[in-house]
Amino acid sequence: MLYYSLNHQSPKVNFAEAAVKGQAPDKGLYFPEYIPTLPKGFIENIKTYSKEAIGFTIMQPYVGENIDKNELQRIVTETINFKFPLVRITENIASLELFHGPTLAFKDVGARFMSRCLGYFNRNNKKEVTVLVATSGDTGGAVANGFLGVEGVNVVILYPSKKVSPVQELQLTTLGKNITALEVNGTFDDCQAMVKQAFADTDLNNKLSLTSANSINVARWLPQQLYYFFAYQQWQQNEAPIICVPSGNFGNICAGIVAHISGLPVKHFIAACNANDVVPNYLQTEQYTPKPAVATISNAMDVGNPSNFIRIMQLFNNQFNALKNKLSSVSIDDATTKTTIETVYKNYQYILDPHGAVAYKALEDYLKNDVGQRPTSASGFILETAHPVKFPETVEEVIHQKIAIPESVQYLFNLEKKSITMQPKFEDLKEWLMRR
């Protein structure tokens, strides 16, 4: 398997090179030459497979010969060594809970897979790799945890000051060792722009071996397919599910679409967005117009120019009608998000986080509005991408009770936050990196 740049100005590379570089020299995102087809009988027999067998089968074609099969099996096993339950909320809506990993967020899967791949690729390299990543919330914690202590890898995380939740901030600022947090006085888009400029800067690239741990990196993006298969393994209905994904940078739903193209049965995808409505507007008007990010209570989705949407377009060969037939996208405002959290808790005793609430409302509306076009048994699931404890101010306000802090993160509250404050200027980031 080779990977090409979506800007089409750089040579094709293998998985190892794509993972280490993160982004192509022409600043394009790497994309696989083809989407592998699932083995014959895989879907029909999926309930008989272990999670580890599913993970290895899905990832092996993308990795190819770049990782020894025994090593890939180890990497996959360590990546997914927690549960991924599909929990029924209503008769027609279930929740795929992706918050049972070490940092209580779906990004644990991609971060753990990527960190282990980079550790393997860098095992004989004397030059340290610097992982540079921007986060709107959960990416930072997942990357910090995944790479903590990985030999030969330093991690630098940029996050927007006062725009991540307390637990999120503690997860990315308290680990120390090879993890450094830069607290930027700006938005996530500012952080992401600074990171992109760093990868384009000749001086920095001559001095440092830079790579990205955002979902632009194939080693973080592609393994997100796995939990879609885990969900289908638990799916009880005869009809294929409608899948609703809370979407910010669009890497997660893009991975789901890859899984579908490879053979996973999915009736329809819904990209549930908050007030950052670039993609919903595009699907209505066919005009793609990035905007500055707007701050919301579902902060991990506060992205005004989603990097991975170009990959989604590529999956549909840039054919607008083909894309629109398989993908819907809607914008849910903060007031509706809060009401949804409150209503679902009151009626079903299920606690949604703000991102899951955006997805729940989008799926609920889709099922109600389009039920005349499909059997009344139509149903689907949302991706519950983070534990509600990460958003205590919002969730506790509307359900009128405290959320118990999981044991796995209680220790964070005894640790000291350590971050370096920075203005949203690339020149400041470059000067700091050059001095390291």
Catalytic residues: 107
What distance in Å separates the CA atoms of residue 322 and residue 331, rounded to the nearest whole number? 21
Provide the 8-state DSSP code for 240: P
| Residues paired with 331 in a beta bridge | 273
57: how many CB neighbours lie within 10 A of its CB?
18
Dihedral sign, CA of 403, 242, 53, 105? negative
Residues 6+ away with beta carbon under 8 Å from 47 = 233
Pairwise CA distance, residues 148 & 337, whole Å: 34
Q: How many CB atoms lie within 10 A of CB 314?
A: 14
Provide CB contacts within 8 A for 246, sequence distance 6+: 252, 272, 273, 298, 300, 301, 355, 356, 358, 359, 382, 383, 385
Structure tokens at 388: 């509600």
Q: Determine whether 274 is exposed, middle or buried from the number of CB atoms within 10 Å of its CB (0-12, 13-18, 19+).
A: buried
